């Protein structure tokens, strides 16, 4: 599966995060999509540290399937702090066991 195309990096899970760390130049990433499996497998605090190197981000999309509703504002604030020049949006993955899946 292609994880990086025309500046857009898609991290569905931990293996794609690890692959991006090895194969993708951080300077080329302008858009970041983080899937629920990715932050579930590595933890949000670990994920924040690992993606902080993407300094040219202008758009962030995060699947909220496994983020509790009361935690959404703090998670959004952390992404906005990491990427102050980026627009932020919530998305979803429709994962089984997630708040949007069946």
Q: What is the pLDDT of residues 1-34, one digit of tens each?
A: 799 999 999 999 999 999 999 999 999 999 999 9
Number of domain units in the chain: 1
**73 belongs to a structural domain:** yes
Q: Report the pLDDT averaged over residues 39-65.
A: 97
- Vertex 45, ends 102 and 34: CA angle to 5°? 45
Query: Is 9 a domain residue?
Result: yes
What pLDDT is stored for residue 101 in this prediction? 56
Q: Is residue 99 part of a domain?
A: no
For residue 34, is it within any domain? yes
Decide if 102 is inside a domain: no
Q: Quote the domain boundaries for residue 72.
A: 4-91
Q: How many helices (H) and strands (E) does the chain have?
A: 4, 5
What confidence score (pLDDT) does residue 1 get? Answer: 79
100 within some domain: no
Look up the pTM and report it. Answer: 0.91
Residue 101 located in a structural domain: no
């Amino acid at each position: 599966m292609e994880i990086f195309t025309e500046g857009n990096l898609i991290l569905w899970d931990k293996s794609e995060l690890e692959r991006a760390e090895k194969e993708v130049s951080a300077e080329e990433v302008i858009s970041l999509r983080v899937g629920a499996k990715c932050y579930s497998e590595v933890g949000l605090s670990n994920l924040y540290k690992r993606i902080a190197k993407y300094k040219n981000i202008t758009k962030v999309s995060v699947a909220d399937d496994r983020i509790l509703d009361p935690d959404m504002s703090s998670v959004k604030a952390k992404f906005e702090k990491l990427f102050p020049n980026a627009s932020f949006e919530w998305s979803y993955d429709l994962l089984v066991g997630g708040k949007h899946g069946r």
